[in-house]
């Protein structure tokens, strides 16, 4: 099929002006009243001229058949897409001109407007040029010399044409051999991958025999999608079990020990997944973004491994058409040891990958547009069905987190201890530097900053020496302001700021001086560790400082951040709360989505009073009492005549009634 029709429809073939109603334009502006002539011009403008029966015009090619379009795409593999487009354009123009010329020879009743001649079409790519016009022999010596030169040039042209034909044939054969070799190599890689996958899947199968009966492995199917009734049944059975299916043993291990990182696919699929990873990372990825990309690719590979089980050909991607298997994979995630929010996050990763695959098809994929619509719609339906569980789980987690937050006394104790304890590790690091002392120093510094501002740990770990030195230059007698450019929400809030007093910034300046005397501290980050990457153990250092203060219980940066967000919501007005939230790079809209659904006991009491006030107002409106006398109406008493008259069912505010209603 020719794929250049949209590119060829550029406008009127006579005046080259673009028009939507081209037929009316030809009739009104150019007076093309001959229907056959107008039809030929319309087909030429849309690129739908039939060129199948025309001989090939490529130099050195002598093809004459019934499918010139197929011949150009299959045999002339040495031509690029642009060159093929040029050849097709010339062919269509040549065929259209020939048809118009033949129409003019019939002397039609309706006069023709176009006067194109067949000889006006350029033939710079013709295999043989048109024959020379016959000339009269002349005895003039100059004429004889000219004829000899012409014959010599003709012979030289024939030699060059034969050489071009030979070289073109050799190039075509070489390209075809390379393509065949690449296809054979891809098939060999798929066979090797299938053997490796069978060995990998046999390990958890042997382990499952000791725990209980195992499911039989489904036989290897053909490259067509599984459509029998037995296969979906096996998928549902495997997905409904308490453990993950045998053919997807990729839920064990944590971090870099997770088995998802060991999944491999044929080279063409690995290359496509690498392209997806490059797209996700962007042009300037951070270390954290690169690690997230590796995790995301691992989850995609786990999904593809689940879907490709039982298929002996993977490069066509037809295994993704099994919608029941997609649902089975989602059930296996939900029934595994993962939290429902984690399962939802995994499925969203797959949804993002499918969107990328729909917009950027893989080479060799046989999935059409309808298949991609069905697949993406199925994943979207799965995400929609999980929305209730995810929302309830998030509310429960938020409620538990709010109940376990540190008190204001703990926060004040940490701030007091930081002022007295931070100088002590600095003195020890000057004389006897140790890893334990440095960890305690980092813990107290981050504890002090978090108790003041509640920033995320990424703000502290990504703070560089240059940013600290720049804050020293721009500081005044009021203090110093540090701007951290690299953190999690930099896209939404820009740089993160930290204002420090002269004393607090003096600790940081002293640590910079101590770092310059230590060995192995060539890290550009302020809270340096061994290597060149930012520290990832700040949560551990925070717990060390928390325990050193004498406080008990678990603690993390999120708890301290939540304390500040909750205090700003409860004790600040709207404008000041927004200022505090912006300074700590906190989105109040996201927080209110969950905090508003989890009121405290006092807030619930106030809300109940609102219901009571509404009922009192309704009773007053029904009895005609003014708003000033609302307090005289007792809606809890069923002996009030006015209430009994207008309300057959009295309102009873008792614990038993509420329990029965619930």
> Does residue 646 register a pLDDT over 80?
no
State whether 241 and 350 are in the same domain: yes
State whether 606 and 528 are in the same domain: no
State whether 573 and 652 are in the same domain: no
The pLDDT-based confidence of 259 (bands split at 50, 70, 90) is low
Calpha distance 8→16 (Å, rounded): 12
Q: Give the count of beta carbons closer than 10 Å to the beta carbon of residue 623.
A: 15
At residue 1, the 3 state secondary structure works out as coil
Whole-number mean pLDDT of the chain? Answer: 77
| Number of domains present in the structure of the chain | 4
The pLDDT-based confidence of 169 (bands split at 50, 70, 90) is confident
H or E element at residue 500 = strand 496-500
Residue 130 forms part of a structural domain: no
Q: Average pLDDT in the 463-479 region?
A: 90
Three-state SS letters, 165-189: HHHHHHHHHHHHHHHHHHHHHHHHH
Q: Average pLDDT in the 593-606 region?
A: 72
Predicted local distance difference test score (pLDDT) of residue 535: 84
State whether 30 and 110 are in the same domain: yes
pLDDT digits (tens, 9 = 90+) for 138-149: 777 777 778 778
Predicted local distance difference test score (pLDDT) of residue 415: 92
Q: Under a CB-based contact definition with an 8 Å cutoff, are residues 577 and 592 in contact?
A: no
State whether 563 and 611 are in the same domain: no
> Does residue 228 register a pLDDT over 50?
no
> Does residue 227 register a pLDDT over 50?
no
Q: Which residue has the higher pLDDT, 185 or 408?
A: 408
Calpha distance 577→564 (Å, rounded): 10
> Does residue 381 register a pLDDT over 90?
yes
> Does residue 483 register a pLDDT over 90?
yes
Residue identified by tokens 């030809």 is: 26
Residue 358 forms part of a structural domain: yes
Domain extent at residue 586: 407-595
pLDDT digits (tens, 9 = 90+) for 59-108: 777 788 888 888 888 778 777 778 888 888 888 898 998 888 888 888 88
State whether 445 and 558 are in the same domain: yes
Q: Give the count of beta carbons closer than 10 Å to the beta carbon of residue 550.
A: 9
Q: Which of 21-25, 73-77, 581-585 has the lowest mean pLDDT?
A: 73-77
Residue 142 forms part of a structural domain: no
State whether 430 and 488 are in the same domain: yes
Q: Which residue has the higher pLDDT, 579 or 246?
A: 579
DSSP letter (8 states) at residue 360: S
State whether 445 and 579 are in the same domain: yes
Question: Which of 210-224, 233-247, 253-267, 336-350 is predicted most confidently?
Answer: 336-350
Determine the longest span between alpha carbons in the chain, in angstroms.
Answer: 140
Residue 393 forms part of a structural domain: no
State whether 588 and 610 are in the same domain: no
Residue 175 forms part of a structural domain: no
Q: Which of 92, 120, 148 is the last residue of a domain?
A: 120
User: Which residue from 283, 280, 313 is spatially nearest to 299, judged by alpha carbons?
Assistant: 280
pLDDT digits (tens, 9 = 90+) for 393-452: 888 888 887 777 888 899 999 999 999 999 999 999 988 889 999 999 999 999 999 999
Calpha distance 438→470 (Å, rounded): 24
Q: Which of 72-76, 229-233, 379-383, 652-656 has the lowest mean pLDDT?
A: 229-233
Residues forming a β-bridge with 311: 221
Residue 623 forms part of a structural domain: yes
Residue 158 forms part of a structural domain: no
DSSP letter (8 states) at residue 482: E
Share of the chain above pLDDT 90, in %: 20
Residue identified by tokens 């530097």 is: 433
Q: Which residue has the higher pLDDT, 380 or 523?
A: 380
State whether 347 and 297 are in the same domain: yes
**Which tokens hold the place of 180?**
């065949």
Predicted local distance difference test score (pLDDT) of residue 68: 87
Predicted local distance difference test score (pLDDT) of residue 633: 52
Q: Which of 102, 120, 138 is the last residue of a domain?
A: 120
Predicted local distance difference test score (pLDDT) of residue 261: 58
Q: Which residue has the higher pLDDT, 306 or 181?
A: 306
> Does residue 347 register a pLDDT over 90?
yes
State whether 488 and 626 are in the same domain: no
Residue 648 forms part of a structural domain: yes
Q: Which of 120, 149, 164 is the last residue of a domain?
A: 120
State whether 341 and 428 are in the same domain: no
Give the CATH number, domain containing residue 544: 1.10.443
Predicted local distance difference test score (pLDDT) of residue 338: 86
């Amino acid at each position: 099929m020719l794929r250049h029709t949209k590119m060829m429809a550029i406008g009127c073939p006579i005046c080259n002006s673009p028009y939507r109603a081209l037929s009316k334009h030809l009739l009104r502006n150019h007076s093309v009243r001959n229907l056959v002539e107008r039809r030929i011009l319309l087909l030429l403008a849309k690129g739908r001229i039939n060129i199948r029966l025309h001989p090939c015009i490529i130099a050195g090619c002598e093809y004459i058949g019934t499918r010139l379009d197929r011949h150009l795409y299959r045999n002339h593999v040495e031509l690029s897409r642009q060159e093929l487009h040029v050849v097709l354009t010339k062919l269509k123009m040549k065929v259209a001109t020939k048809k118009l010329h033949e129409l003019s020879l019939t002397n039609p009743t309706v006069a023709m407007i176009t006067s194109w001649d067949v000889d006006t079409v350029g033939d710079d790519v013709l295999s043989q040029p048109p024959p020379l016009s016959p000339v009269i022999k002349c005895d003039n010596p100059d004429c004889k010399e000219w004829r000899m030169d012409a014959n010599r040039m003709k012979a030289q042209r024939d030699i060059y044409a034969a050489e071009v034909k030979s070289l073109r044939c050799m190039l075509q054969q070489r390209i075809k051999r390379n393509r065949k070799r690449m296809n054979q190599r891809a098939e060999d890689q798929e066979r090797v991958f299938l053997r490796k996958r069978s060995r990998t899947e046999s390990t958890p199968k042997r382990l499952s025999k000791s725990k209980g009966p195992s499911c039989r492995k489904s036989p290897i199917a053909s490259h067509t999608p599984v459509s029998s009734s037995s296969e979906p049944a096996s998928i549902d059975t495997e997905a409904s079990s308490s453990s993950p299916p045998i053919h997807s043993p990729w839920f064990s291990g944590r971090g870099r020990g997770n088995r998802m990182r060991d999944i491999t696919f044929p080279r063409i699929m690995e290359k496509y997944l690498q392209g997806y990873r490059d797209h996700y990372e962007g042009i300037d990825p951070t270390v954290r973004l690169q690690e997230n990309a590796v995790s995301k690719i691992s989850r995609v590979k786990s999904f593809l491994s689940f879907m490709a089980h039982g298929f002996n050909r993977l490069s066509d991607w037809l295994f993704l058409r099994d919608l029941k298997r997609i649902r089975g994979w989602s059930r296996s995630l939900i029934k595994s040891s993962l939290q429902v929010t984690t399962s939802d996050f995994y499925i969203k990763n797959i949804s993002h990958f499918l969107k990328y695959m729909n917009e950027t098809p893989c080479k060799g994929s046989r999935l059409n547009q309808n298949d991609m619509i069905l697949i993406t719609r199925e994943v979207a339906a799965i995400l929609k069905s999980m929305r209730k569980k995810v929302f309830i789980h998030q509310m429960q987690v938020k409620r538990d987190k709010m109940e376990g937050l540190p008190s204001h006394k703990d926060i004040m104790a940490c701030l007091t201890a930081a002022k007295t304890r931070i100088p002590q590790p600095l003195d020890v690091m000057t004389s006897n530097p140790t890893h334990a002392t440095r960890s305690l120093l980092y813990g107290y510094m981050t504890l002090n900053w978090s108790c003041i501002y509640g920033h995320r740990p990424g703000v502290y770990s990504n703070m560089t020496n240059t940013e600290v030195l720049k804050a020293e230059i721009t500081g005044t007698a009021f203090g110093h302001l540090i701007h951290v450019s690299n953190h999690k929400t930099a896209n939404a809030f820009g740089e993160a700021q930290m204002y420090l007093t002269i004393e607090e910034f003096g600790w940081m300046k002293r640590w910079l001086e101590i770092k310059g005397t230590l060995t192995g501290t060539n890290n550009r980050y302020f809270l340096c560790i061994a290597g060149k990457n930012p520290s990832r153990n700040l949560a551990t250092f925070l717990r060390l400082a928390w325990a050193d203060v004498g406080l008990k219980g678990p603690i993390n940066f999120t708890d301290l951040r939540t304390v500040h967000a909750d205090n700003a919501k409860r004790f600040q007005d709207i404008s000041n709360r927004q200022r505090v939230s912006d300074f700590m790079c906190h989105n109040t809209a996201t927080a209110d989505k969950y905090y508003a659904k989890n009121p405290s006991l006092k807030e619930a009491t106030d809300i109940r009073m609102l219901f009571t006030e509404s009922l009192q107002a309704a009773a007053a409106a029904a009895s005609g009492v003014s708003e000033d006398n609302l307090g005289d109406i007792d809606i809890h008493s069923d002996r009030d005549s006015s209430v009994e008259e207008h309300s057959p069912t009295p309102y009873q505010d008792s614990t038993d009634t509420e329990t029965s209603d619930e």
